[in-house]
Amino acid sequence: MKCQLLTRELVCQLSEAVISLNGMTSQTTIDKPGPGDGVPSGSAPARGLRGHPWVTLVTVAVGVMMVALDGTIVAIANPAIQNDLGASLADVQWITNAYFLALAVALITAGKLGDRFGHRQTFLIGVAGFAVSSGAIGLSSSIGAVIVFRVFQGLFGALLMPAALGLLRATFPAEKLNMAIGIWGMVIGASTAGGPILGGVLVEHVNWQSVFFINVPVGILAVVLGVLILLDHRAENRPRSFDILGIVLLSASMFALVWALIKAPEWGWGSGQTWLYIIGSVVGFALFSFWETKVREPLIPLAMFRSVPLSAGVVLMVLMAIAFMGGLFFVTFYLQNVHGMSPVDAGLHLLPLTAMMIVASPLAGAAITKVGPRIPLAGGMTCTAIAMYGISTLQTDSGSGVMSLWFALLGLGLAPVMVGATEVIVGNAPMELSGVAGGLQQAAMQIGGSLGTAVLGAVMASKVDSDLAGNWADAGLPELSPAQAHQASEAVQVGVAPVPPGTPAEIAGKISDVAHDTFISGMSLASLVAAGVAVVAVAVAFLTKRGDNAEAGAGMGHI
């Protein structure tokens, strides 16, 4: 049970970290100043290091590195938290769900706050709040307190991420922006990859609290640097009021949708509860869309979606997240439960994916600068489709070399999408809506990731249910009762062999073989579905183009 939990948490947290990378990199598009435009209203002139683009990059990277590292480091601490605080499996699952819900619900509103009050302010509040919430988790003596402060982490993380890239997009001129995005990707990739390893060391040699306490000094450093270095940039025609009813309707609709996707595997896709939340979210989005046409300053002006490239970019992000997050969800089950790796070893085996993202991000930035985002995005999704097909061919005895090949190709495919999303979504949005556009892109990633794990999880469950009984009988194993068959199916869906205690070695071996072979068949089908989604995304990529606001730099600050 702990192995299942740890693996599920690792995938969810890794997904969060990669979602953060994508959202952040996609938000750095620079708006083209018109004739006579200078520094945006509310901006202070750059002096010395204050407002220098590269120093600004270092400053915001320190803050967001904290969030990226936290994304994977927490997964390693969950079993220790469960043991120390006497938490149930459902309680510990909420450590992920609480953060995920808060982040998904708050992203667009947080982007609007940055557009209204300035990204420097919201970045500093987000960093400080995330660090304080992390320290509070380390001091918590109950699982309830941990969950509550994880909600605060999600809320402050939602403030931090759009603000960080809003600062970069206002600071870097166009000819330097993609290089900055590449470096940004390297920082986030390294932090993501280092999380499981650092987390394993801290939990083993210190305690689980240390994985949260480590954010406190990092947060203090980011705040100090932010106060000294960051300049505030605001669009002259930035929002002046808030669409309160729009925020309420959007937040409630997002919550209902994400909650339905989180609980669908438990409730079942045919459950009345699942569809009650899904229908509620559809009604909520419809009311939100109607209201946005009536309010003077809407939260999301629906005219934004008249831009075909922007709309295509949002759809592309959803499809990419379905293919990547949904497919990756089963990979760590495969590494840990089929191959018997520790969480740290599983993280090390995923390093080719992260390493290729680090290497390919600046190369993708250069390619996008030269030819625009359309071809790199289509090529990236093609690589993703091929990689997911390759993952569908993995067997119980596949070696590290074969796995590394497909993981590296997956990273190569993701890099152009991470960087190219800049011109696709934020670059096609007005400057004064850059925060909202960035939040929209990140929300699309969150929803896509939820859909990926939920839908591909349903594919896996269906395949296991259809194959397990026959494979069990073919192996000559004793027939299972309906209750036993249900429990066995749930275990096999995450690659765990349902071997009862005291089972003779010969029988236990047969059960393990059946469980792992059945899991492989389910993972193969789910990966093929993910590859098909990636193929659809290739077609969507050809509807994108470089954003009108990304054609020239802002010219703010000096290089």
Domain boundaries, the chain: 2-232+299-463+521-550, 243-298, 464-520
Predicted pLDDT at 46: 52
pTM: 0.77
Predicted pLDDT at 217: 93
Q: How far apart are alpha carbons 167 and 12 in whole angstroms?
A: 28
Q: Of 159, 66, 165, 29, whose CA–CA distance to 107 is shortest?
A: 159
Q: Residues 283, 318, 302, CA angle at the centre, nearest 5°?
A: 50
Q: Residues 81, 158, 84, CA angle at the centre, nearest 5°?
A: 5
What's the start-to-end Cα distance of the chain, in Å?
A: 53
Q: How far apart are alpha carbons 27 and 125 in whole angstroms?
A: 19
The mean of the pLDDT values for the chain is: 80
Q: Of 75, 266, 97, 69, whose CA–CA distance to 187 is shortest?
A: 69
> Which sign does the torsion angle of CA 6, 7, 10, 16 carry?
negative
Q: How far apart are alpha carbons 139 and 445 in whole angstroms?
A: 32
Residues of the chain with pLDDT under 70: 1-48, 71-72, 89-90, 174-175, 177-178, 181-182, 185, 189, 192-193, 234-241, 422-423, 426-427, 431-432, 434, 547-559
Predicted pLDDT at 3: 43
Q: How far apart are alpha carbons 256 and 220 in whole angstroms?
A: 35
Q: How far apart are alpha carbons 65 and 58 in whole angstroms?
A: 10
pLDDT tens digits for range 106-154? 888 888 888 778 888 999 999 999 999 999 999 998 988 999 999 999 8
Query: What is the third-level CATH fold of 2-232+299-463+521-550?
Result: Growth Hormone; Chain: A; (1.20.1250)
